[in-house]
Amino acid sequence: MTRIAKTRPFSKVLYALVLIGGVASGGHIEFGARALAQNIKPEPIPLPPSEFPTPSADLEALIARNDVVALRKHSWLLWSGLTADSSQSFNGRVLPIWETWLSEEEAFSPVNQLVAAAAAPRPRILFPFAPPRQFQHGASTLAKTLTAGTTPKQRLLAFVKMSPESASFLAASHETPSKSGQSYSYVSASDLAQLNAAFDQSNTAVKDRKIIDFPAAGTDLKMVFLPVKPGGLSAIPLWNGAADSSDPTQPTPDSWKTCVAVDPTNSQTGTASINCNGHQVQAEIVPLKSFHSVQINAAEAATINSLSKLAGAAAVQAGDFQVLVAMHVTTKEITNWTWATFWWQNGKNPPNDFPGSVADMPDASKVKGPWRNYAMCISDSMVVPATDPKGKPVVCFNPYLETNQTDGLNSNCMSCHAMARLPLAATANPYPQTYLPNGFVDLADPNIFGGATKTDFVWAIPQSAH
């Protein structure tokens, strides 16, 4: 369900909603041999051309009349394609389509894995778990914990995946602007700096200072996970609204008062007493199979503990599971990309269907198994009406991620990603004082984009170009 909210001032705190744009790491992530998939090839979303990509004009018409029902149907269709079984398996498990895709690290490697695969197979890291990158910014509560050097209560891990179309686009150089006679690689920091300088030299209008658009089928994802132990019951916090938090103004998952008890044996039912964020509660027992999960080995556990600063009882162990609790999905089917976010909701609607719901999910022939337990909201425009700078802001956030951000309860993905540009100084606030986390962003505003190159809503480019 898409929500319309009152406009709220941004304040002076850095608002770093870098959602689809990476995970934090200190260089190349080295995992054990079990994580390396030698022959996994990225597969496209298995939807017919009549369904994906949807013609931009068709989606823009739905957005213009704020047809939320039809736009949600479109996002559920994407969900059915992303979570469908691929033709490939790894360690005896059939991979969903999205797991075959390149990670951000692979897509931005000096030799893009899609290109390298044509010459000879190379090992691939399917699950490069690391702390979500936006948590390294000053706006988040977890960032303060990491800066202080203490063990965070919240152990969210994440990684980014890019569709074959997005990865192929990044692997090529592009004439920019079109018919300019000059080509640039968007994974090269020096090329991007040269492009920005060329815009300066040509006195290019602010609205035209941009890379060329990704292809319509370009799709980027961000997955977020929490740990489950291989023995006993593990508590996973369940979104039950901001009021069900010890901090309703910034209800991060480690403050939620409701949890489920995850049974890794898939054999128990009923309820059990469990520690839920420091409080003993009676929780519903749910089987591990109600989540999409990945089991990790010793080398992976060591890497995760190092990156996330986990030690002692909080440390991840070999044999632990990582269960998927959230996924951001964005497609280039429209100029400003479509935006949807999904989170584990135990197959039920949260209070007041906020920020979204499982309503109107396709039947079990299309969305299958654990994927039916995820709720969804959309933000296919920043405001309503979509082209009105004074329109009512659209609210769509992921409870497992944006609740870490200042004013995250009033945010949407599109407004954040509209700000993606370069160059950005390492210590600079990429969000001006006038920025609203759910407000209209004028892509021709010289106060924001003057002297910069817009990166087509993709934060991964300024963050990962090498």
Instruction: Please write the tens of the pLDDT for every residue from 161-184.
Output: 999 999 999 999 999 999 999 999
423-453: pLDDT as tens digits: 986 556 677 666 778 889 999 999 999 999 9
Where residue 299 falls among pLDDT bands split at 50, 70, 90?
A: confident
- Average pLDDT rounded to a whole number, residues 386-415: 93
Mean local confidence (pLDDT), 15-37: 40
DSSP strand pairing (259-263 vs 279-287): parallel
Q: Cα separation of 433 and 55, whole Å? A: 36
Q: Which helix (H) or strand (E) holds 125?
A: strand 124-125
Distance (Å, whole) CA 34 – CA 296: 9
CA 151, CA 145: separation in Å to the nearest integer? 7
Instruction: Tokens 């920043």: give the residue.
Output: 382
pLDDT of residue 20: 44
* 225: Cα separation from own chain's centroid: 11
Among 43-57, 97-111, 236-250, the least confident range: 97-111
Once rounded to an integer, what is the mean pLDDT over residues 287-296?
A: 96
Q: Mean of the pLDDT values across residues 300-310?
A: 82
pTM: 0.89
Q: Tell me how far apart the alpha carbons of residues 420 and 417 are, in angstroms, rounded to a whole number.
A: 5
Query: 131, 308 in Cβ contact below 8 A?
Result: yes
Residue 309: pLDDT band (50, 70, 90) is confident
Of the candidates 381, 376, 317, the one whose C-alpha atom is nearest the C-alpha of residue 350 is: 376
Q: What is the mean pLDDT of the chain?
A: 86
Compare 13 and 74 and report the one with higher pLDDT.
Answer: 74
Q: Give the 3-state secondary structure of residue 219.
A: strand
Cα distance between residue 455 and residue 208, in whole Å: 11
CA atoms within 13 A on the CB side of 388: 12
Average pLDDT rounded to a whole number, residues 175-200: 97
**pLDDT tens per residue, range 246-258:** 999 999 999 999 9
Question: Can you tell me the distance from the alpha carbon of 408 to that of 252, in angstroms, rounded to the nearest whole number?
Answer: 10
d(CA 87, CA 85): 7
Contact indicator for 384, 391 with CB cutoff of 8 Å: yes
pLDDT of 125 reads 75
> What pLDDT is recorded for position 431?
73
Query: Looking up tokens 């990491």, which residue turns up?
Result: 146
